[in-house]
Amino acid sequence: MNTNLNHQSKISVLFVCLGNICRSPLAEGVFRQIVEDQGLGDQFLIESAGTGSWHVGERPDGRAILVAQQHGINLDSRARQILEEDFSRFDYIIAMDRDNLRVLNKLKAEINSSTQITLLRSHDPDGSGEDEVPDPYYGGASGFENVYQLVKESCKGLLQQLRLA
């Protein structure tokens, strides 16, 4: 697995939630911004996907777009469902919650992949024992701000761990 930031091939990271319109596109945008702010944009391939197919082709939820914009981040992805080939394309697949982690680990076992799958919050140095990014879909705007803050801290930790690997 490629974790050396000086290596010529890119480190590939795929963020995954249920529908790929709230949490995972927000994580994709936040992580991309953090990576670019560190001058490492050319060393990473960063995408997002969902375990479900309900929103394929759609833009992220308007509330996710708004909270991202409020923090200077552009979300330009389109929802897609995770594919078998993602398990060979990506070095790291990062799940937002335990349900999606279970689905991803089941798919990984079925295709005998060596891709590393973790929960995003496991990379938050101040995670205070919580391991999931809550789904803000059925809540209000404040839930999206909360998710942004959780994602931001976890993405900072993820990049730090990748730089130390």
Q: Would you say residue 3 lies in a domain? A: no
Q: Which residue has the higher pLDDT, 33 or 140?
A: 33
**Total count of domains within the chain:** 1
**CATH code (residue 152):** 3.40.50.2300
- DSSP tag of 62: H
pTM: 0.94
Confidence (pLDDT) at 6: 47
Among residues 29, 13, 36, the alpha carbon closest in space to that of 65 is found at 29
In a domain, 1, yes or no: no
> What is each CA distance from 95 to 4, 6, 101, 121, 141, in whole angstroms?
22, 26, 5, 9, 22
Task: Give the least confident one: 1-5, 110-114, 153-157.
Answer: 1-5
Please pick, among 17, 32, 86, 121, the residue that the annotation labels catalytic: 17
Side by side, the strands of the sheet bearing 44-50 are 44-50, 11-17, 92-95, 116-119
**Residue owning tokens 């991309």:** 32
Checking if the pLDDT of 1 tops 50, the result is no
Choose, from 22, 23, 63, 124, the residue flagged as catalytic. Answer: 23
pLDDT digits (tens, 9 = 90+) for 110-134: 999 999 999 999 999 887 778 999 9
Tell me what pLDDT residue 119 has.
97
Q: Which class for 39: exposed (0-12), middle (13-18), buried (19 or more C-beta within 10 A)?
A: exposed
Kindly state whether residue 132 falls inside one of the protein's structural domains.
yes
135 catalytic per annotation: yes
In a domain, 59, yes or no: yes
pLDDT at 5 exceeding the cut of 90: no
Mean pLDDT of 94-106: 98
Amino acid 8: pLDDT: 55
Q: Which of 61, 86, 135, 155 is catalytic?
A: 135
Whether 98 is catalytic is: no
SS3 content of the chain, % helix, strand, coil (to 5): 45, 15, 40
Which structural domain, as residue segments, surrounds residue 33? Answer: 11-164
The reply to whether 93 falls in a domain is: yes
> What distance in Å separates the CA atoms of residue 136 and residue 134, rounded to the nearest whole number?
6
Residue 61 falls in the annotated catalytic set = no
Q: Is 43 a member of any domain?
A: yes
Any domain includes 5: no
What distance in Å separates the CA atoms of residue 107 and residue 88, rounded to the nearest whole number?
12
Q: Is the pLDDT of residue 43 over 80?
A: yes
Q: Is the pLDDT of residue 62 over 50?
A: yes
**129 or 74: which leads in pLDDT:** 74
2 occurs within a structural domain: no
